[in-house]
Amino acid sequence: MFRLGASGLTGPMTQTATQTQTGTGTTLVIGGRGKTGRRVVARLRDKGRPVRVGSRSGRPAFDWHEPAGWAAALDGVDRVYVTYHPDLSFPGAAEQVGAFAEAAVAAGVRRLVLLSGRGEQAAQRAEEAVKAAGADWTVVRASWFNQNFDEDFFLDSVRAGEFALPTADAVEGFVDADDIADVVVAALEDDRHIGRTYELSGPRLLSFGDVAAELSKATGRQITYVPVTDADFRAVLREQGQPEDFADLFGLLLDGRNAHLVHGIEDVLGRPPRDFSAYVREAAATGVWDV
């Protein structure tokens, strides 16, 4: 997920010892091997919560395009973290998410937490479908993930020393997947987050040139950001086997609509979000960008 307005909150919802928690039934994490999903799985398991990983390789398997298998994945589940691949703004996503949400409620699910994207008007159709399903709900709208640079998508480009996008001047409040996971776990477990929409960003707005400079400093190599035309970017997507819909999505999201910070992380967790510099230093130390 690559990720208007303020966070849509009426006040801080910081985690305290007096927070209200509901039961400890099984949580289904769709995309449980993905960037945010696997982090949510790890946090829930650390708390001793029963978790089911929703993925095509899971047991039982979960596949957005195989609704016949949804019932098995939902059996015994009372809450679900919903992520959608490749993106909620893509054609057909809202219909699939809506059908799943209805199936989940029919199976006894009481809470749905949906990962959405900041500024994605098309994704709001999926949000409304989740809200209408009949379960308690929370929507988490995230900015672009820091981890897009070290966990697929731009990973190979960074290793090659150059990454490209069809924008020259856009800025983004890049957000860390660990912060997203912390917010999601709070939403799954704390009743105070029911019926809330949270928008998440990091603490700074960065241009892609700024990102390249941070990557260069952390890796000790020259990493360059290259603005390209829409046609050239579409050609790159085709070469990488990525949907060309990403070009439309990037053009939409990088038009300045998200060029401001939001404060959902502080509101939910009572602490500041992780800075991009800290993420880059930690990722570089793992050797993920070494060549």
Q: Going by DSSP bridges, is the β-strand pair 162-165/111-117 parallel, antiparallel, or unpaired?
A: unpaired
Whether 48 contacts 185, CB under 8 Å: no
203, two tokens: 């603490």
Helices assigned H by DSSP within the chain: 37-46, 70-74, 93-106, 123-131, 155-160, 177-189, 208-219, 230-240, 245-253, 264-269, 276-285
Token code pair at residue 77 = 């589940």
CATH of 26-205+254-283, one of 3.40.50.720, 3.40.50.620, 1.10.3210.10, 3.40.50.360: 3.40.50.720
Banded pLDDT at 9 (limits 50, 70, 90): very low
What pLDDT, on a 0 to 100 scale, did the predictor assign at position 8? 36
What 3 state SS string does 257-289 have? CCCCCCCHHHHHHCCCCCCHHHHHHHHHHCCCC
| 246: confidence class by pLDDT, cuts 50, 70, 90 | confident
Kindly list the domain boundaries of the chain, sorted by start residue.
26-205+254-283
pTM: 0.90
* Alpha carbon 167 to its chain's center: 22
CA 250 to chain centre: 15
